Amino acid sequence: MSLFKKHESVLKNAIEALHKRTFFAAYPEHPAPAIYGETADADGQEKFKALLNTKFGELKQEGSTNWIGVEESPYTQELLGIKYPAFPVDTLITRAKSSYHVWRKVSAQDRAGILIESLERVKARFFEIAYATMHTTGQGYMMAFQASGPHAADRALEAVAAGYEELQRFPASTLWDKPMGKFNIQLNKEWRAVPKGISLVIGCSTFPTWNTVPGVYASLVTGNPVIVKPHPGAVLPIAIVVAEIQKVLAENDFDPNICQLAVDSFDNMITKQLAEHADVKLIDFTGNSTFGSYLEALPGKMVFTEKTGVNSVILDSVADVDKVAGNLAFSLSLYSGQMCTAPQNFYIPEGGIKTANGTISFDEFAQKLVDNITGLVDNPKAGPFVLGAIQNRNTCTRVLDAEKLPGKVWLKSRAIDNPMFKNARTSTPVVVEIDASHKDVFSKELFGPIVLLIKTKNTDHSLQLAQEMAIHHGAISCGAYTIDPSVREKIADVMALAATPVSFNLIGGIYMNQNAGFSDFHVTGGNPSGNASFTNPEYVIKRFTWVGHREPVPAG
């Protein structure tokens, strides 16, 4: 049985899910022993530990000129000691060029089968990847398992499904028969989906698989060879994924260099050298706006970016203010605010927030939010695991600097103890009240657990500011609370014009940070936070070109 036949039902279900946009998950998100096996967690942890202070030898890339590894665990603040094979840029490009002319001629069915098979292999390593993610990003265990494991695999499958469907949109060939009166003109026509060329996928330090695999699998399914350039601080999670892709390629007699890993170090980064190379045609990037804008400006490249944004929460009226404060406290504390979808600017009318039991003043809501943050942070069974650890030391500095912003500090940041890791690098949220006139303060992303409470004239003023921030500085998410249908529609319409999705009235176990594969488009591509959206059709169709040929039907 071919790999396509083996996984055809999975692909069919994924394509159906793309259209229905209802809940669909091919990979269970809960790390339950009943699903993944009684020893899966312990085995994954042991496999991760066995990789420490060794050479990562799973990649099928031969002839390395060096071994590089600079990853540090945010939980132990010690180097992982894992070294990866490194290669000159010219070697990576040469191998990608050679593999391009093989991979581009492989049928879409076979490519899809190979890629879904690789995801099945990755599934068997979800727990190992979870520990690798914890100790490179600082994510808590549950987030590390879900985001780098099943959720990332779902996003990769989503890209495969979208790409495969677009490759089937037009027939490979047809007979074109045009009546001309006494005779017909007949032409044989054919169409080929021609891949653009070498694809460079640049990873980030906080979500090394979830943000990376959509671009990897979108390029591969459409016939492009891929060079994965991970962030030097978070290599292992995506290295495991690349290794599994290479293994499946090799097992099916394809060049494993169709998907290569390109590692570097902080003092000798190769990202620009790769990006500017004439043979690189596609670039996927997640990271800061400065570098993302540089990539977007490179001539002759098709670039897909997710950059920084300023995410807002608009508070107008609520049914239950305590549930709202609790939801938002969790949302802003999750992974210590190190998510591109985390809320930052909270717009609160100076006249307060309307409730069924009267109006809650600005100060009353601010205190409720602070109390909920403190209650979560100080809960030894929740706080350390929800907050996780800080990936980059600079984030800790940024949080402390936020206390010096011009405004009342409602809550100072502090370090908390993690019962499992005594040296964990932690910072609790800082909450600062900012006057609405200080746009210079709240018009940029302050990455990390930093919350700005902005006092506005009214909800219209809040909405105006939220839209302005999104249009001029970008936004990936927006939260809004209102029990007035007309206000809800106004917020939805105004923020849609700023290409920003809105999560309305979330309470309980769903948060504005979260994006669901096969249902939520991640980033819209319509404001400065990024020019791409996975996974919409544009995300895959720009990776290949339809080319048609024709010739007369032979006489007789």
In the chain, what are the domains?
3-306+542-547 (3.40.605.10), 312-504 (3.40.309.10)
* 3-state SS assignment for residue 98: helix
> CA–CA distance from 225 to each of 105, 196, 305 (Å)?
12, 10, 19
pTM above 0.85, yes or no: yes
What burial class does residue 394 get, using C-beta atoms within 10 Å of its C-beta: 0-12 exposed, 13-18 middle, 19+ buried?
exposed
> DSSP states of 58-78 as a string?
-------SEEE---B-TTT-S
> Does 137 score more than 90 pLDDT?
yes
Within 13 A of 309's CA, how many CA atoms are on the CB side? Answer: 36
For residue 334, give both structure tokens. Answer: 């999750």
> CA–CA distance from 305 to each of 61, 369, 448, 542 (Å)?
27, 33, 20, 13
In angstroms, the CA 493 to CA 463 distance is 11
Residue 71, pLDDT score:
98
514-550 confidence digits (pLDDT tens): 999 999 999 999 999 999 999 999 999 999 999 999 9
* 3-state SS assignment for residue 18: helix
Residue 357, pLDDT score:
86
Averaged pLDDT, 101-129: 98
> DSSP states of 168-219 as a string?
TSS-SEEEEEEE-SSSEEEEEEEEEEEE--EEEEE--SS-TTTTTHHHHHHH
In angstroms, the CA 499 to CA 89 distance is 37
Beta strands in 209-357 (DSSP E): 226-229, 259-261, 280-286, 302-306, 312-315, 317-318, 345-349, 353-355
In angstroms, the CA 138 to CA 140 distance is 6
Residue 356, pLDDT score:
85
Taken in order 348, 349, 350, 355, is the CA torsion positive or negative?
negative
> Does 78 score more than 80 pLDDT?
yes
Binned at pLDDT 50, 70 and 90, residue 555 comes out as confident
What is the bridge-based pairing of β-strands 544-552 and 184-195?
antiparallel
Beta strands in 448-543 (DSSP E): 450-456, 478-481, 502-504
Residue 422, pLDDT score:
95
In angstroms, the CA 551 to CA 556 distance is 15
452-500 confidence digits (pLDDT tens): 999 999 999 999 999 999 999 999 999 999 999 999 999 999 999 999 9
First to last CA, the chain: 40
In angstroms, the CA 143 to CA 506 distance is 20
225-278 confidence digits (pLDDT tens): 999 999 999 999 999 999 999 999 999 999 999 999 999 999 999 999 999 999
What burial class does residue 389 get, using C-beta atoms within 10 Å of its C-beta: 0-12 exposed, 13-18 middle, 19+ buried?
buried
Q: How many helices (H) and strands (E) does the chain have?
A: 20, 20
Residue 377, pLDDT score:
97
In angstroms, the CA 321 to CA 384 distance is 25
Which of 331, 283, 324, 332 is closest to 307 using CA atoms? 283
281-310 confidence digits (pLDDT tens): 999 999 999 999 999 999 999 999 999 999
For residue 424, give both structure tokens. Answer: 């964990």
Which of 325, 323, 317, 294 is closest to 307 using CA atoms? 294
Residue 1, pLDDT score:
77
Q: Determine contact, residues 352/365, Cβ cutoff 8 Å.
A: yes
Q: Determine contact, residues 203/362, Cβ cutoff 8 Å.
A: no
Ramachandran bin of 486, using left for φ above 0, alpha for ψ from -120 to 50, beta for the remaining angles: alpha
Which residue in this structure is represented by tokens 């070294």? Answer: 83
Rounded (5°) CA angle 276-281-283: 75
Total residue length of the chain: 556
413-447 confidence digits (pLDDT tens): 999 999 999 999 999 999 999 999 999 999 999 99
Averaged pLDDT, 321-333: 97
* 3-state SS assignment for residue 280: strand
3-59 confidence digits (pLDDT tens): 999 999 999 999 999 999 999 999 999 999 999 999 999 999 999 999 999 999 999
Q: Where are the alpha helices (DSSP H) in 389-477?
A: 393-402, 439-442, 459-473
